[in-house]
Amino acid sequence: MGTQLSFDRGSAEALSVSKQEPTWLTVRRAEAAEKAQTLDWPQPEKMRIARWNLEAFGNYKAAEPAAGTAELPAALQELLSKEEDASGLLVQRNSSRVLNRMNEKLAAKGVIFTDLETAAREHVELVQKHLFSVVDPYTDKLTARHAALWTGGVFVYVPKNVEVELPLQALLYSDDAEATFAPHILLIADTNSRVTYVDNVVSAFAGEVAPSVHQSVTEVIVKAGARVQFATVHHLAESVTDLSVRRAKVEQDGRIEWIVGDLHDGNILSDTVSVLEGSGATSDAKVITIGARAQKMSVTTQAVHVGRSTDSNMVTRAVMKEQATAIINGITKIEKGATKANGVQTEKVLMLSPKARGDANPILLIDEDDVTAGHAASVGQVNPEQIHYLMSRGIAKEDAERLIIYGFLAPVVSEVPIPSVREQLQRLLERKLES
Amino acid sequence: MSTKFVVNGLKAEIEGKEILKGIDLNIKGGEIHAIMGPNGTGKSTLASALMGHPKYEVTSGTATLNDEDLLEMEVDARARAGLFLAMQYPSEITGVTNSDFLRSAINARRGEGNEISLIKFIRQMEGKMKELDMNPEFAHRYLNEGFSGGEKKRNEILQMLLLEPKITILDEIDSGLDIDALKIVAAGVNAMRSEERGFLIITHYQRLLNYITPDYVHVMMQGRIVKSGGPELAQRLEDEGYDWVKEELGIVDETVGKA
């Protein structure tokens, strides 16, 4: 198998040099590669990811630039908004960016939307300062390895007081299982700015392919008074292991809204954390996931309250089919001094098969007295009384079940604030539920 | 064809305990039958068993609607054949809006390729909601979720009006209704009265029957219909209670299926 690669300081350095990256980045990559050798894989609750295929991270392969979206596979074109409905578009194929465009008026206002490799050369100060400022690259083997070999990626910078009305859209796809697919997303929303970022992480393989890994790290920096909506929908093939770590750091009165659609067909480690540093900072996370076949999923959302009067809300809904296993963790962490903080979380799992497994673990870690926190978690099956009620009105059993399953997800889907993402989520989750 | 609903010797049990001990009923289109009786005598079991609730097992007897064997059918097929049960405790279903549910139910009856147009559906639904004095907002609320008892009952009647069943069973539709709501519900039922439709009204009290005049009144005790008569029977039960019936028939404990 050609997907395996021994990765060490030397090869990380050599790759970075061959790509003519700035020296500071080459040095960082080399150090991270070395650290990765000794660090352990992350150990999420009740899920032994060390058993997964984590090594198939492939080789860096630069893809040919595309002249336009018409050159993309048809199935991927469907995922894109119309040009006039987005402020910009970036497409990464395997290891590198192949397409990038942005509204010129926004560019004139100083908004930056490009791949992270380019940004590391052209916007050194911003990137050098903020890259891995939210996620510690030496947290574990996953983050260290990512720091060593991330490729392509997305960089967003929105200057002070600038509002980006229409979403910035990224399409990150893999069509070569032997190519490294490890985008790093760095989004900086400066003071009082507004931005919506939407991406799709997908695969477009022709037929059966060898196992591969998608590993991404997202860092979002929300400065004072800024507001970021970050929506990401993953639907890669079963052969792909998806390892996605997302962190937002939110300063005073800033707000982060996450929308995560984990509709991927392979194993998933999905970890989304909002760190509410400044007073009055708020976060909202909506996560929808559907498990099927023998899929294993570890899906965690976390809110860390550091600042006073911070507020977090997290909702996760999971539907589990066949033999799928999901461990859904919700962590509300309130640090000492975060007075008047309020954290609320709900995890609900609907089991459609006796062989499926779903755990919902609400975890509250509270070190301050003057706070409020709430949690609700449930794991259950389709209620036979509800089925009976619908059937008693003439609705066939399978239609009744479908209504109830979609109804389970609807309260979260319907609150997704970005219409295009809402519709896409609905379509993709229907596809996965009906398959 | 005029509607003909015939129940013959129906026996049913729950968890091995026999609750219905042989029920006979014969309801023709245009007729309203009322079943009255104290708590625990098997009235609601009769309604649930006819609809096909999975908790109840019919052990013998027949139930036919226009000569079609209902007991052979799945629950949804019974509904499509024209049976409707307004339930005492309707389910709440999160995420399914009332209007989506109603449209699914109407289309299930009409069949594939013959679905009702959205505009026509909305017009019908809004018209019927108005008749029932329901806030239009209820169309967009999740099915029965957070509805008060009275709102749920009205919603049951809304379904009846839209689905136009041949045989409607109202299981204690009057419980939890104030007098104004009761009048509205009764008006809904009366508006549906026709040669095509029959009704079976299950109730504790005579109250509802002030607004919907039944043709026949049956008293249920110990899982059987022990006495039948006309509307005057309901009036006497209201005035004198059930003791005289028990006395007349030598019944000490009228309930059924108690451990």
Please write the tens of the pLDDT for every residue from A320-338. 999 999 999 999 999 999 9
A407 contacts in chain B (CB < 8 Å): 93-96, 142
Q: Strand B216-221 and strand B224-229: pairing?
A: antiparallel
Give A39 to chain B, closest Cα distance, Å: 44
Chosen for mutation from A288, A392, A399 (greatest number of chain B CBs closer than 10 Å) is: A392
Q: Is A200 helix (H, G, I), strand (E, B) or coil?
A: strand
Domain count for chain A, please give it.
2
Domain assignment present for A375 = no
pLDDT for A6 equals 63
Give A369 to chain B, closest Cα distance, Å: 33
Rounded Cα distance between B6 and A67, Å, is: 74
- Which of A47-61, A240-254, B82-96 has the weakest average pLDDT? A47-61
| Inter-chain CB proximity B91 and A386 less than 8 Å | yes
Query: Hey, which residues does A286 pair with through a beta bridge?
Result: A259, A315
HSE at residue A413, side-chain half, CA atoms within 13 A, is: 26
Domain assignment present for A87 = yes
* Contacts (Cβ under 8 Å, ≥6 apart) of A49: A41, A42, A43, A267, A269, A298
- pLDDT at residue A4 tops 70: no
| Inter-chain CB proximity B93 and A397 less than 8 Å | no
| Inter-chain CB proximity A403 and B91 less than 8 Å | no
Single out the residue in A248, A277, A306 at which a domain terminates. Answer: A277
Q: Is A330 helix (H, G, I), strand (E, B) or coil?
A: strand
Rounded Cα distance between B231 and B212, Å, is: 10
Mean pLDDT of B29-45: 94
Output the six-digit token pair for B231.
């509307």
pLDDT for B258 equals 72
Give B111 to chain A, closest Cα distance, Å: 10
- pLDDT at residue B142 tops 50: yes
Give A223 to chain B, closest Cα distance, Å: 36
DSSP state of A42: P
pLDDT for A33 equals 95
Domain assignment present for A309 = no
Say which amino acid occupies A66.
A
**Residue pair A178/A211 in contact by the 8 Å Cβ criterion:** no
Interface residues from chain A to B (CB-CB < 8 Å): 383-386, 388-397, 399-400, 403-404, 406-411
Q: What is the DSSP string of A266-283?
A: S-EEEEEEEEE-STT-EE
Domain assignment present for A132 = yes
What are the Cα distances from residue B134, in Å, to B150, B155, B181?
11, 8, 10
Domain assignment present for A306 = no
pLDDT for B2 equals 83
| Inter-chain CB proximity A403 and B100 less than 8 Å | yes
| Inter-chain CB proximity B76 and A395 less than 8 Å | yes
Domain assignment present for A149 = yes
Sign of the dihedral through C-alpha A389, A391, A397, A400:
negative
| Inter-chain CB proximity A395 and B105 less than 8 Å | yes
Write out pLDDT tens, residues B41-78: 999 999 999 999 999 999 999 999 999 999 999 999 99
Rounded Cα distance between A362 and A375, Å, is: 7
Q: What's the complex ipTM?
A: 0.97
Mean pLDDT of A121-146: 97
| Inter-chain CB proximity B163 and A408 less than 8 Å | no
Statement to judge: residues A23 and A167 lie in one domain: yes
pLDDT for A3 equals 39
| Inter-chain CB proximity B105 and A409 less than 8 Å | no
| Inter-chain CB proximity B76 and A400 less than 8 Å | yes
A409 vs B53, B78, B95: nearest CB: B95
B95 vs A391, A393, A411: nearest CB: A411
| Inter-chain CB proximity A408 and B80 less than 8 Å | no
* SS3 readout for A149-191: HCCCCEEEEECCCCECCCCEEEEEEECCCCECECCEEEEEECC
Give A10 to chain B, closest Cα distance, Å: 55
How many residues would you count in chain A? 435
Q: How confident is the model at residue A299 (pLDDT cuts 50, 70, 90)?
A: very high
Give A386 to chain B, closest Cα distance, Å: 6
- pLDDT at residue A5 tops 60: no
Q: In whole angstroms, what separates CA A270 from the centre of its chain?
A: 7
Q: Of B145, B56, B28, B48, whose CA–CA distance to B93 is shortest?
A: B145
Mean pLDDT of A351-357: 94
Query: Hey, which residues does B6 pair with through a beta bridge?
Result: B26, B64
Domain assignment present for A31 = yes
Query: Hey, which residues does A428 pair with through a beta bridge?
Result: none
B65 contacts in chain A (CB < 8 Å): none
**Residue pair B104/B118 in contact by the 8 Å Cβ criterion:** no
Rounded Cα distance between B103 and B114, Å, is: 12
Rounded Cα distance between A196 and A204, Å, is: 26
List the Cα angle A24/A30/A35 in 5-degree steps.
Answer: 125
Rounded Cα distance between A115 and A92, Å, is: 8
A411 contacts in chain B (CB < 8 Å): 94-95, 142
| Inter-chain CB proximity A408 and B95 less than 8 Å | yes
| Inter-chain CB proximity B96 and A397 less than 8 Å | no
Helices A397-413, B98-110: crossing angle, 10 deg rounding:
160
Rounded Cα distance between A35 and A327, Å, is: 29
Chosen for mutation from B76, B88, B169 (greatest number of chain A CBs closer than 10 Å) is: B76
Q: How many CB pairs under 8 A join A and B?
A: 82
Domain assignment present for A155 = yes
Single out the residue in A261, A277, A293 at which a domain terminates. Answer: A277
Single out the residue in A251, A277, A303 at which a domain terminates. Answer: A277
Sign of the dihedral through C-alpha B210, B215, B219, B223:
negative
B53 contacts in chain A (CB < 8 Å): 388
- Residue entry with tokens 């009105």: A393
Q: Of A234, A219, A115, whose CA–CA distance to A173 is shortest?
A: A234
Q: Of B137, B192, B142, B131, whose CA–CA distance to B166 is shortest?
A: B192
Sign of the dihedral through C-alpha A218, A65, A180, A37:
negative
**Residue pair A276/A305 in contact by the 8 Å Cβ criterion:** yes
Chain mean pLDDT for chain A: 95
| Inter-chain CB proximity B94 and A411 less than 8 Å | yes
Expressed as residue numbers, the domain containing A86 is 9-277
Say which amino acid occupies B169.
I
The residue in chain A having the minimum alpha-carbon distance to the alpha carbon of residue B102 is A393
Mean pLDDT of B151-159: 95
Q: What is the DSSP string of B55-95?
A: TEEEEEEEEEETTEEGGGS-HHHHHHHTEEEE-SSPPPEEE
Query: Hey, which residues does A232 pair with through a beta bridge?
Result: A199, A260
B108 vs A396, A404, A407: nearest CB: A396
